[in-house]
Chains A and B, each alone.
Chain A
Amino acid sequence: MQRPTYGQSPPLHHPVPQHVSTVPQLRSPPPPTAQPQSHGYDGSPYPQQQQQAPQGGNMFGQYGNFMNDPTAQIATQFGQTAFRQGQDYLEKNVNRFVNVSALKHYFNVTNSYVINKLFLVLFPWRHKPWTRRQASDSGAGSGQEAWFYLPPRDDINSPDMYIPVMSIVTYVFLRTLIAGLRGEFKPELFGVVATTAVVLVGLEILALTIGCYLLSISNKSQLLDLVAYSGYKFVGVIVTIVISEIFNGGKGTGGWVGWTLFVYTFLANSLFLMRSLKYVLLPENNNTNQGPMQTMHPLDSRAKRSQRTQFLFAYSYPVQALLMWVLCRP
């Protein structure tokens, strides 16, 4: 008996499981098929899979149907739109409070810069040129020069925020570690130490800003510089705490080792600050090409200059001594 000729049969669909796996097709190699020859092709799953497409169609078809499913496509687009909207919202709001591009300048560091800067904070006496290097933005039009300071990557004298942030975090962990070694750890200690450190830095910046206002030192975009410079003292504090903890069980108040180390790091940090902040508080150059800092009026009285020098000295030495002592207490 002859079979009746039907029309062209519809394309055969192998039964496809409806709960598709959430692994998108493009990102991870598809699981090995049930064919026995998969072992020889471990390095390149994709060409292997495509060769076997007519044979192992159900697995590949599963992925194909996942991407062709209109619901999945709508979901993908919705996810992308939501993500993009979230990014825009974040950019708009964060940019209003925090100058993100200026922050990026401070984190533009290299390994050699970090090592050299740490050495400089702990031993600043032999370093010779302390001025920050500048460059001009040559893309501007004629006659309009936009000067900016070189990032820390190219200039050892430029302040960065990487070392201060890292040293504050290290200080918090070190404090809690030592408290734990003594058996007096409690989980609130993290918050207490971190808050103390941040509040001390904040008070210092506040006092510095009031001092700058009283002395009519105009700082253009230098607030983050001052924050960075006030974070460098944590390096000396950490060194003092670690070494004095090794040598005697006590703290900086305990014995000769702790106190001499404290005095040494305090002097090093203060000299580093005085030399580095000279360009902020006592600018000297009256060249024809103006840098981004203010230049002193040639008619400025000696009284004002000596006032500013005294202010810089008072900030570098006694204020730092007080703060470092507070941070090094047991």
Chain B
Amino acid sequence: MTFLGKIIYVTVLILNAIVVLSEDRFLARVNLTPDTHNRSFGTNGVDRSVKYNAIQLIASIRTLTRIPLVPINILIIVYELVLG
């Protein structure tokens, strides 16, 4: 497979892994959702803790890439099935 194809596959797989996690069954248990953890620290730029930043990162990746990942996954599946 081409080099660029491999890179695209890796990024799509990682994004899939982040998006697929169930919010109420898994993330709430581990306290990685925006509502279970926060409001304990201030939210201006300097005071954010690492965990708050990680939570924001996960939440924004999920919100942004949930919708475009569906057609991209369909394309990759069709490519793998049809063209080997």
User: What is A's interface to B at a CB cutoff of 8 Å?
Assistant: 195, 210, 213-216, 218, 297, 300, 307
Contact = CB atoms under 8 A, between A and B. Distances in A.
A214 B53 contact: yes
Contact of B46 (A210, A213, A214, A300): A300
B46 A297 contact: yes
Contact of A214 (B3, B45, B57): B57
A311 to B, nearest CB: 10
Contacts, number: 18
A216 B57 contact: no
Contacts of B53: 213-216
Contacts of A216: 45-46, 48, 53
Nearest to A192: B3
Interface of B: 3, 45-46, 48, 50, 53-54, 57
14 contacts: A195-B3, A210-B57, A213-B57, A214-B53, A214-B54, A214-B57, A215-B50, A215-B53, A216-B45, A216-B46, A216-B48, A216-B53, A297-B46, A300-B46
Contacts of A213: 53, 57
Contacts of B3: 195
B25 to A, nearest CB: 25
A213 B54 CA distance: 9
Contacts of B45: 216, 218
A213 B50 CA distance: 9
Contacts of B50: 214-215, 307
Contacts of B54: 214
Contacts of A307: 50
A195 B4 CA distance: 11
A271 B48 CA distance: 29
Contacts of A218: 45
Given A213-B53, A214-B57, A216-B48, 8 more contacts: A210-B57, A213-B57, A214-B50, A214-B54, A216-B46, A216-B53, A297-B46, A300-B46
